[in-house]
């Protein structure tokens, strides 16, 4: 069995932001030489998410509105977690959006459905963070 471990580093300049990482993940699959297997991609920080969906700006704006209704950033005092860092909302948003994705690899390619793309979603940015890519297979 072949394996590859890589890290993608991000420094999103705003508090929240989406980064399409599909090409980076495919490049890691190609580098690994795996033709049939799986790739795991997960956020290595508890205030960031990795998920799969459509790369469509209206949908991305809808995430912002929806998440802000579910876990509003302010007022900071509404959360028991806030104090050292005012990022309780980011922890909650990450729980909703998820930690990781697993994608099948077929014939050396990410085996997606129509329109599927992989995104890193920064929920408490302005500092360096990373995502893990782990490829396994034959």
Q: What is the pLDDT of residues 110-138, one digit of tens each?
A: 999 999 999 999 999 999 999 999 999 99
Q: Are 9 and 121 in contact (CB under 8 A)?
A: no
pLDDT of res. 62:
98
**Average pLDDT of the chain, as a whole number:** 97
Query: For the whole model, what pTM was predicted?
Result: 0.96
Contact present, 33 and 2 (Cβ < 8 Å): yes
**pLDDT category of residue 4 using cuts at 50, 70 and 90:** very high
Q: What is the CA radius of gyration of the chain?
A: 16
Each domain of the chain, given as residue ranges in start order, spans 2-137
Asked if the 2-137 domain carries CATH number 3.40.50.880, the reply is no
Mean pLDDT of 21-31: 98
């Amino acid at each position: 069995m072949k394996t590859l471990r890589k890290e993608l580093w991000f420094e999103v300049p705003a508090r929240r932001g989406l980064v399409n990482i599909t090409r980076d993940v495919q490049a890691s699959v190609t580098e690994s030489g795996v033709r049939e297997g799986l790739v795991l991609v997960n956020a290595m920080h508890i205030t960031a998410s990795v998920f799969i969906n459509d790369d469509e700006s209206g949908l991305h704006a809808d995430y912002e509105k929806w998440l802000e209704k579910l876990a509003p950033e302010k007022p900071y005092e509404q959360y028991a977690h806030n104090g050292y860092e005012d990022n309780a909302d980011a922890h909650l948003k990450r729980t909703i959006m998820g930690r990781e994705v697993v994608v099948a690899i077929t014939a050396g390619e990410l085996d997606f459905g129509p329109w599927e793309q992989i995104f890193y979603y920064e929920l408490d940015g302005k500092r360096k963070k990373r995502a893990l890519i782990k490829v396994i297979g034959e």
